[in-house]
Structure 1
């Protein structure tokens, strides 16, 4: 096995590590008492949950590919040359620490700013989404595909929410949500982004867009969606990279209409 090769056995090892991290978080979730009530408690709970996963993932992944660097969850922009593990140790962490079930553990292996492998695991549902570049997308080992919809009026769309204090991004999101309300069948807003994108890759959602950057989530989701036959660009329809300021993933039959809806409002 060469350092440049991604084997299916390596994917299996990543899946095992991600599932173990998710199981540790799920155990903490089940044992959780009252939800945090102020910012200090929220921040402490978020940190604990992230650390549970990182303590499992980081040593295992770095042992698997020692040449790969580790990219922080909240870093943005291009990674640069070489290999990188990009992990979102608890995407939707704010949900988990409030007793809500929607969160994921996501890991991608990136080489020269191109994702080669991704695993997204939802600990409570047990669903695991995987993709190898050029090898298709899978949920629990079975192939998945983007939806066949061709009418945006029949589409389920989703977006994320800016962190508090990101006023400009919040304003952009508000305008785009209003625009999509007028065009789509259903619009969802919230986290985790990786769960929205995993569901899009499985044909359960049809459009996902984002203002701003969320590298760990979009790198993972972009590979899943592309391998499932979906289309990934920025909101204006240009080629997307981790340095792009916006993100759009959609089923191929509604992508063009989504671009129009999100840019002409």
Structure 2
């Protein structure tokens, strides 16, 4: 469990958010097809935007009602620090590119961020019905089962992941991704490169994967997984080893027995 200051979610907030995210997940599931939709870039982008719009129509109002003093972070691809206070950072279709291509790695996420620290999150996988939740200071769960990160201590035995945060990143970021994958292929056991980040981070929180890193500050792809991993006993920092928050420019979440070794490999590339 995280050592961060506990968050008082009250008696109903987590259940209200879970209900809203599950309802949104039903909308996204109903839009799913097992085949790819769209051929041209314009067609693919239109499908992605249609997914976002349909889910946000279901999700936004109940979240704002559940936490009336909160604010809404509009751009799901935005990064950097948020203004003070409480903000909903939502991805209506985390893994949207997978959804529109008929693949099954996608979810709906909603995370409450307080003064740039994630304090409550719900990640729902509509195709399986699984729901991951975490509250700062209250642990992380898959459905009703507590989550715990991997007990591994040998990076050479580790299953590690990374991925691209968004389309159109700069060439330097792409080269850093490539260099870091090579370094981890040399030092780890297996490197998994896929999108979206949240779908890898839930595996880190559940102890199925051992670490995940990303050269990115895209909030919506990291806040949910950061809280889930930290509340499951993992270590979440930037690539300088400092505690991660939404202002950090890069990201590492790992089992505590592997974090230092992973950081040693990645820090020179960052």
What interval of TM-score do these two structures reach, taking the shorter chain for normalisation? Answer: over 0.9
Partner residue, 1:150: 153
Q: What is the CA–CA distance in structure 1 between the aligned matches of 2:240 and 2:78, rounded to whole Å?
A: 23
TM-aligned CA deviation for residue 264 of structure 1: 4.1
Aligned runs of 1:3-82 on 2, under 5 Å? Answer: 5-30=8-33, 34-72=36-74, 73-82=76-85
Does 1:118 pair with 2:121?
A: yes
Alignment length, in residue pairs?
261
Does 1:255 pair with 2:267?
A: no
Q: Check the 8 A contact 2:235/2:254 in 1, yes or no.
A: yes
3-state DSSP of counterpart to 1:149: coil
Partner residue, 2:232: 228
Question: Which aligned segments of 4 or more residues in structure 1 are displaced greater than 3 angstroms?
Answer: none
TM-aligned CA deviation for residue 261 of structure 1: 1.2
Where does structure 2 lack aligned partners over 5 or more consecutive residues?
1-6
Partner residue, 2:196: 192
TM-aligned CA deviation for residue 165 of structure 1: 4.7
3-state DSSP of counterpart to 2:121: strand
Which stretch has the larger CA shift, 7-16 or 41-50? 7-16
TM-score, length-scaled by structure 1 = 0.94
Q: What is the CA–CA distance in structure 1 between the aligned matches of 2:87 and 2:196, rounded to whole Å?
A: 22
Which stretch has the larger CA shift, 108-117 or 42-51? 108-117
Where does structure 1 lack aligned partners over 5 or more consecutive residues?
none
Partner residue, 1:208: 212
Q: What is the CA–CA distance in structure 2 between the aligned matches of 1:33 and 1:244, rounded to whole Å?
A: 37
The C-alpha deviation readout for 1:102-127, integer Å capped at 9, x for no partner, is 01111111111122101111121221
Q: Check the 8 A contact 1:104/1:192 in 2, yes or no.
A: no
Q: Check the 8 A contact 2:238/2:244 in 1, yes or no.
A: yes
Q: Check the 8 A contact 1:106/1:217 in 2, yes or no.
A: no
